[in-house]
Structure 1
Amino acid sequence: MDTNTQPDAIELIRLADLTQSISVRLRSTEPTLESLGVRYYDAEAVVTSGFVNGTVYLGFDSEDLKSWGQLLDAIEEAEHETDLDDPFTADWPPSGRTAYLRFIAEDPYVVESHDGPSTQIVVSVPLDMGAKWIAESRERLAAARAALGVDTEDHHGARP
C-alpha cells in the first residue's frame, strides 16, 4: 500500500490470475463529497503484472456501487449466452468523468484500465480468473457497501 492510501482503505474490485491483476482500492471509506444524497469516493485502479505496474486515480459515487453489482449480473448472464456474435463489453464506472475499467468477456477475460480524461493511456490485461470470480466480486462489493454504509442490500435484496 502506498503512503497516500489511508489505513482504512479497502479493495472494492480485485480481478486476478496467477501472474497479473487489476484492482480498485478505495483511498478512504469517508466520502470526499456528498451532494443530494450521492456520496463521492476517491479510489485508485491498480494494474500489476510482470510487464507493467501502474496506478491511476479513479473516482466513483454511491450510485456506481449499484451499477457494479448490475454489471456483475450482466457478465454472469452473458457467460450463459451461446449465440453472442461479439463478446460482452461494459465500462465501470461509466466512462468520461474519471479513469475507468472496461470488461471484455472473452476467453480469457480482458480488463482494460482507461485513463481517458487525463493521459488517454489504456492498459489491457488478459486474466484467467477461474469460475469463482463473480461470487468473490459480489462478496467484495457487499463488504464495501457495508464499510461505506451505502446501499447495503445485495442484488437479490438480502442483507449481506
Structure 2
Amino acid sequence: MDTNTQPGAIELIRLTCFTQSVSVRLRSTAPTHEGNGVRYYAADAVITSDFVNGTVPLGFDSDDLTDWGLLLNAAAEAERDGALDDPFKADWPRAGRTAYLRFIAHDPYLVEVHDGPSTRIVVSVPLDMGEEWIAESRERLTAARAALGE
C-alpha cells in the first residue's frame, strides 16, 4: 500500500511498478443506484508518480466487474502465448460513460487514464509490472466482489 492509500480503502485495481501506479479505489461498497438487476458504483481512478499525481471520478457497474476479469484473462493469455509483440487494447469500464482506463498490453504495459466525458485529458502511465500482477489483480477482484456482495 502506498502512502496515498486511505486505511481501509478497497482497491479494485492496482497496477504498479517502482515509482508509479494506477489504481481504482471504491468510494463506498454501497451502490450509488440500482436498476434492472445492475448495481452502479462510484470510485476514483488514481495516478501516482514522480511526474504527475491525479484523481478522477470513475463509475462502473456490476457487469464491468466481469469485464475486468475477462481483461485479466486476455492479458494472461497474451503473456502465456508471447503475444505482447502484437499488443491488444481494452477499455475499462467501457469508454464513453465515465472516466475510464485504456489498458494496452505491451512491454512495458501502458495504462491510459481518460477523463473522456469531462475534460478529455488523457494521462499515459507506462508500467513494468512484475510476474505476479495478474494473480494479484484476480485476488483484488475477488475481494472487491465479496465486499460489494457481487
Q: Structure 2 length normalisation: TM-score?
A: 0.92
Cα offset, 1:36, TM superposition: 1.0
Q: Which residue number corresponds to residue 103 of structure 1? A: 103
Amino acid of the structure 2 residue aligned with 1:44: D
1:16-70, Cα deviation, whole Å (9 max, x unpaired): 0110000000000000001111000000000000000000000000010011001
Within 5 A, what are the aligned runs for 1:1-160?
9-82=9-82, 86-150=86-150
Structure ranking higher in helix proportion: 2
Q: 4+ residue runs of structure 1 moved beyond 2 angstroms?
A: 80-86
Cα offset, 1:85, TM superposition: 6.3
Please provide the CA RMSD for this pair: 1.8
Say which SS state the counterpart of residue 70 (structure 2) adopts.
helix
Say which SS state the counterpart of residue 80 (structure 1) adopts.
helix
CA distance 1:65–1:100, change in 2 (3 Å): same
Distance in 2 between residues matched to 1:63 and 1:96, nearest whole Å: 16
Q: Which runs of 5+ in 2 are unaligned?
A: none
Q: Which runs of 5+ in 1 are unaligned?
A: 151-160
Amino acid of the structure 2 residue aligned with 1:12: L
Count of aligned positions: 147
Distance in 1 between residues matched to 2:129 and 2:84, nearest whole Å: 21
Cα offset, 1:83, TM superposition: 5.7
